[in-house]
Structure 1
Amino acid sequence: MLSYQHLYHAGNLADVQKHALLCVMLDYMTRKEKPLTYIESHAGRGLYRLDAEESLRTGEAEKGIGALADAFPADHPYRHRLDEVRSQWGQTAYPGSPLLAALSLRDTDPLHLCELHPQEHRILTEVLSPWGAHIHKKDGFQMALALTPPTPRRGMLLIDPPYEVKSDYEVIPTHMANIARKWNVGVLALWYPLLASAAHIGMLAALSERFPDALRHEVRFPVAKAGHRMIGSGMFIVNAPYGTADEARRIDRIFHST
C-alpha cells in the first residue's frame, strides 16, 4: 500500500506553481460556453488544514502559500479560489487541485477523480460529494485511459502522482502518449518534481520527444529540509490553453522576487 499523504506538503512552493497554473487554465477554458470534462489521476484528499500537526511539522506551507499568497492580485483565479476556501472553511484551510477544479467548473462539467489511499479517498469523497464528483478508487493511469476520450470531449487531465513508485518516471511518457492517441484535443498536464538525483531527466526527454510542442515550466527553490531530494517543481502541459505561457512567466517573477 502506498503511504504518501500530501498533508505534510500541502501549500508548499510546488503547490503554488501547480495550482496557479491549474486555476488560470481552468479559468480560460470555462469562459467558453461549451462544457468540459476534468479528470485527475492522483487526487489526494482535496482539502487540507495548514494548522494540522503534519503540516506544521514540515513548515512547507509557511514558505509556500504563506509567503506568496499576497503576490497574486485579488482578481487572479488562484487567489480568488483561495479566498473562497478560506471564507468557507477558515483561514488555515488550503484547497488541493480537486477542490480548485470543482470551484472553477460549472454544473455542466463532469469531474472525475481517482485516489487509491483509503484515508485520502474517504476524505476526498466527503469533501467533493457536494459537487457530484465521480470518485474512483483504482489506478489513476488505468482510469484515465478508460475514460478517454470523455464526454464532453473538450477537457483536461491532471496527472500528479507522488512518484513513490520509481517506475513512474519510465512509464509516464507511455501512459501520456496512449492517452493523447485517444484524446488528441485534451489538455494533459503533468506535475513532476525536480530532483537532485536528476531522476526526472530521462522522463522529460522522452516526453519532449513525443510532445515537442508542449509547454514545460519549472521553478527551483531551496530544499525544504536538509537531506530532502526535491529542489524544484515542474509542469509539462500538452495542448496548453491560451495564456498559460504568460502565467508561467508571471510565476517566474513571483518566485524570483522572494
Structure 2
Amino acid sequence: MLSYQHGYHAGNLADVHKHATLAWVLSELTKKDKPLSYLETHGGRGLYDLGSPEALKTGEAAAGIRKVEDWFPPADPYARVLARTRQLHGRRSYPGSPLVAALCLRPKDRMAVAELHPREGEALERNLRPHGARIERRDGAEMALTLTPPDPRRGFLLIDPSWEVKDEYATIPDLMEKVHRRWNVGILMLWYPLLPDARHAPMVQRLERSFPDGFRHEVRFPPARPGHGMEGSGLFTVNPPWRIGERADWLSQRFVTL
C-alpha cells in the first residue's frame, strides 16, 4: 500500500530502538577496512521535521527521542548520527534509517534504498543525493531479490515495512529465506511492531525455525497517546554481528525505566 507516511511517527520509541541498533551495527561493521553494501527495502523520505504538523499531531516524537535522548552519551553511534543530522539540517531534524545508514557509511561503501510511494521517493532522492545512495523507485522485496548478492558481498539488509498489509506477516519470512539462500553471508535485520493482538508471534516463530542462530530483541513501552496501538518494538537479525547482545541488553535496561 502507498498510504503510509512515516512523518507522523518519526522519532518515536520504535525508531529509537531500531535506529540506535542500526547505527551501532554499522559502526561495528565499518571498523574493518573492508567495504560493505547496505540495502533497505522501505526507505521512506529519509529525513523528518519533528516540528511539522504531522509530528506534533501524534506526539510520538515527544514521547520518543525528545524524552529519551539523554540515554545516549555523545560518543554513542546513534548520538553522533543525531548530532550530525542537526548540524546539516537544523535542530528539529530527525534521520530516517536511510540517513542513519548514510551518515555511518564510508565513501567506499555502497548503498541502495527502495521506496515505492511517489512523494516519499522524491523526497528520499533529494535527501540522499548528497550521500551517493542509489534510490530504487520500486517494490522493496523486488529490489532485495534483484540486488542480492551485492558487490561487495559483505553487507547488511534492513527490512522495515509499514505492516499495513496483514499478509506481510507471511510474505516477509518468505523474502528473508529467499534472500538468505542467495546471500548467505549478509546480515538481514527485520523490524516489526508489537501490537495488542500479537500478530507478529507466528511470524517470529517461523523465523526462529528457519534461522535458529538468529537474534531476536524486543522492547516494550507505554503508548505514545491514549488509544495508540503499538506497545513495543521488535528486531530479528539473521547472521547477527558479534556483541549485538550487549547492545540489546544495554537498550533493554533503558526501556524498562519508561
- Does TM-score exceed 0.5, indicating one fold? yes
Q: Give the C-alpha shift of residue 237 in structure 1.
A: 0.5
Deviation by residue 1:204-243 (Cα, 9 ceiling, x = unmatched): 1111100111110001112223333211000001111112
Deviation by residue 1:33-53 (Cα, 9 ceiling, x = unmatched): 110000000000000000000
1:104-119 matches, cutoff 5 A: 104-119=104-119
Give, as a single letter, the amino acid of the residue that structure 1 aligns with 2:51: D
How many percent of aligned residue pairs carry the same amino acid?
53
SS of 2:66's equivalent in the other structure is helix
Q: Give the C-alpha shift of residue 89 in structure 1.
A: 1.1
Q: Cα RMSD between the aligned structures?
A: 0.9
Distance 2:53 2:171 in 1: 34
Instruction: Report which stretch shifted further, 222-231 or 204-213.
Output: 222-231
Unpaired runs of 5+ residues, structure 2, are: none
Q: Give the C-alpha shift of residue 22 in structure 1.
A: 0.2
Q: Give the C-alpha shift of residue 185 in structure 1.
A: 0.4
Number of the residue aligned with 1:151? 151
Distance 2:155 2:119 in 1: 28
Asked if structure 2 preserves the Cα contact closer than 8 Å seen for 1:10 and 1:60, the reply is: yes
Asked if structure 2 preserves the Cα contact closer than 8 Å seen for 1:157 and 1:188, the reply is: yes
Q: Give the C-alpha shift of residue 131 in structure 1.
A: 1.2
Give, as a single letter, the amino acid of the residue that structure 2 aligns with 1:129: R
Distance 2:132 2:72 in 1: 30
1:122 aligns with 2:89: no
Asked if structure 2 preserves the Cα contact closer than 8 Å seen for 1:197 and 1:229, the reply is: no
SS of 1:60's equivalent in the other structure is coil
Give, as a single letter, the amino acid of the residue that structure 1 aligns with 2:23: C
Number of the residue aligned with 1:86? 86
1:163-202 matches, cutoff 5 A: 163-202=163-202
Regions of 4+ moved over 3 Å: none
Distance 2:35 2:46 in 1: 22
Asked if structure 2 preserves the Cα contact closer than 8 Å seen for 1:113 and 1:133, the reply is: yes
Give, as a single letter, the amino acid of the residue that structure 2 aligns with 1:256: V
Asked if structure 1 preserves the Cα contact closer than 8 Å seen for 2:59 and 2:225, the reply is: no
SS of 2:231's equivalent in the other structure is strand
Distance 2:19 2:51 in 1: 20
1:4-153 matches, cutoff 5 A: 4-153=4-153
Q: Give the C-alpha shift of residue 250 in structure 1.
A: 0.7
> What TM-score results when the alignment is normalised by the length of structure 2?
0.98
Number of the residue aligned with 2:246? 246
SS of 2:86's equivalent in the other structure is helix
SS of 1:63's equivalent in the other structure is coil
Number of the residue aligned with 1:236? 236
Aligned residues: 258
Give, as a single letter, the amino acid of the residue that structure 1 aligns with 2:135: I
> What TM-score results when the alignment is normalised by the length of structure 1?
0.98
Q: Give the C-alpha shift of residue 79 in structure 1.
A: 0.3
Give, as a single letter, the amino acid of the residue that structure 2 aligns with 1:95: P
